[in-house]
Chains A and B, each alone.
Chain A
Amino acid sequence: MEFLNYAFMQRALLAAVLVGITAPAIGIYLVQRRQALMGDGIGHVAMTGVGLGFLLSWSPVWMATLVSVLGAVFMELVRWYARTRGDIALAMLFYGGMAGGVMFINLTPGGSTSNLSSFLFGSLSTVSESDVTAICLLAAFVIVVTVGLRRQLFAVSQDEEFARVTGLPVRFLNLLTAVTAAVTVAVAMRVVGLLLVSALMVVPVAAAQQLTRSFAATFAIAVAIGVAVTIGGTVTSYYQDVPPGATIVLLTIGAFIALTVLATPLARRRARALAAAQPGGDPAECAIPASRSGGHGAVP
């Protein structure tokens, strides 16, 4: 545990834990709405924010927050108004965001694309004091929204039309989901990097689903997986000198595979228990009375 003696590791671990909580917490709603790749799109847009931060000598984390929130709002507006051509508009936004980031960073005196790489793939040693403050504030916002409004966000993500008929402010909640996803991208940028952030939003949720039947349990297990892999990945990265973002994502995928393998016998046992609990219910297998069945392959 000697890594805890280093200030940069303390900062990195705090950031990692917050990423592990927030990314699956908003990711579960994106997965529920079948917008699993939204985080990836926002990650591309955030590159322009990082580039602008370098160019204007402002905090890249806050600039990335600002630009990705604007991008997320734009994506929601596209979803409302431009149904058919929406994907083209989104493609332009994503690649424009990426190109903007590369352009701005190269316009910065002494800047080059190599400055960008720690933001693309994550880096522990560069998490500064001010980054940690920003990450704590942004993570608090994400947790308040995803936990405090869980019933509303669940209802809207489950069935948008029904949510509207219950009088929920559906447009506002959709916008809030998009903005919260954008904020999460900025939180996760330093640890896992912009290109890998979406994995941490989606894969822990997919892994948790292998074991669960309820939304609440999926939420809790996904966050637990998120925290476990971000801490595990950060510590591994310290000892082995491997990039943290890639380590965390590979660990998450490993967790998904392990849980999938583990879940197969569990699902079988559950199905048997269900069949046993319902003696009057449908039998698990077809039982055609012998007098009516004409043997294999016979067509009546």
Chain B
Amino acid sequence: MTTEPVISLRGVHAELGSRPVLRGIDLTVRHGEVVALLGANGSGKSTAVRSVIGQVPVTRGEIELFGTPRTRFREWARVGYVPQRTTAASGVPATVTEVVSSGRLARTRFGLFRKADREAVRRALDLVGMADRAKDSVDALSGGQHQRVLIARALAAAPELLIMDEPMAGVDLASQEVLAETLRRQVVAGATVLLVLHELGPLEPLIDRAVVLRDGCVLHDGAPPKAVGQHALPGHDHVHPHAPAGTEPIRTGLLS
């Protein structure tokens, strides 16, 4: 296994509006690593991953993907992105297969689907245990099933790097186990993973390293912090009612 950095951030600053959200963060994810980005609401963890995929402009610092400066990076088929799940439905019905097929476009030429592409879509659905729902409308799915579809969409292009924004948020226990198992198999197959998490939860055994952000700065970079006290109890739901609402606007990308 090489130790070539797959993601590399050096002194990255970013703003939302005119409010600084990232204030010079360094982050390196090496080939085959599973790195969790932790922090409270508004700590900048979502903004950090969104800056990696080019959805948030960087005001200072450098970002590299697979050794290429992000602004010149074009091999997007190597990256699978799972956005934060939204409840906002699209204006027109779409089946699970149709949504997952979008993820395969990066591997096609002019969007023409061959047999191999259709098989890749079916395989991705199999991986998340949604093959039996392939022809159902995505509107008919539960939150956890919807999340599994979004992960299948990212896996359809067989990416080397998976970037996931809060994959466990609002996901039922059964789906959480499926997701953890899917991710485990991807890691065994050699995938590199960067995920934003609110807490480690059922993914804890998979995580090599945790990076904790606070107020747009890296607070901790190393072994995953051990949950203590009440936080360690199984089924503990970590809710922050005191977090000011709207500190970090949820930007869905589903047309603003």
A residues engaging B (CB < 8 A)? 28, 31-36, 83, 149-152, 154-155, 157-168, 205, 209, 212-216, 218, 274
Contacts and interface: CB of A to CB of B under 8 A. Distances in A.
A214 B54 contact: no
B55 interface: yes
Q: Interface centre among A163, A164, A213, A218, by most B CB within 10 Å?
A: A213
B contact face: mostly helix, strand, loop, or mixed: loop
23 contacts: A28-B92, A32-B90, A32-B91, A149-B111, A155-B102, A155-B105, A158-B94, A159-B83, A160-B254, A161-B83, A162-B83, A164-B54, A165-B54, A165-B55, A165-B76, A165-B81, A166-B105, A166-B157, A167-B77, A215-B94, A215-B98, A216-B98, A274-B140
B59 interface: no
Given A151-B101, A164-B55, A216-B98, 6 more contacts: A33-B91, A34-B91, A154-B98, A165-B54, A167-B77, A209-B92
A158 B137 contact: no
Interface string B93-104: 111001101110
List of 4 A-B pairs having minimum Cβ-Cβ separation, nearest first: A161-B253, A167-B76, A155-B102, A213-B137
A158 B90 contact: yes
A149 B79 CA distance: 23
Which of B81, B106, B253 has the most chain A CB atoms closer than 10 A to its own CB? B253
Given A159-B254, A168-B105, A213-B135, A218 B93 contact: yes
A82 to B, nearest CB: 13
A33 B106 contact: no
Binding site secondary structure of chain A: helix
Interface in B96-149: 98-99, 101-103, 105-106, 108, 111, 113, 135-137, 140
B72 interface: no
B92 A32 contact: yes
Contacts of A162: 81, 83, 102-103, 153, 253
Contacts of B102: 151, 154-155, 158-159, 162-163, 166
Interface in B189-245: none
Contact of A34 (B75, B101, B255): B255
Contacts of A149: 111
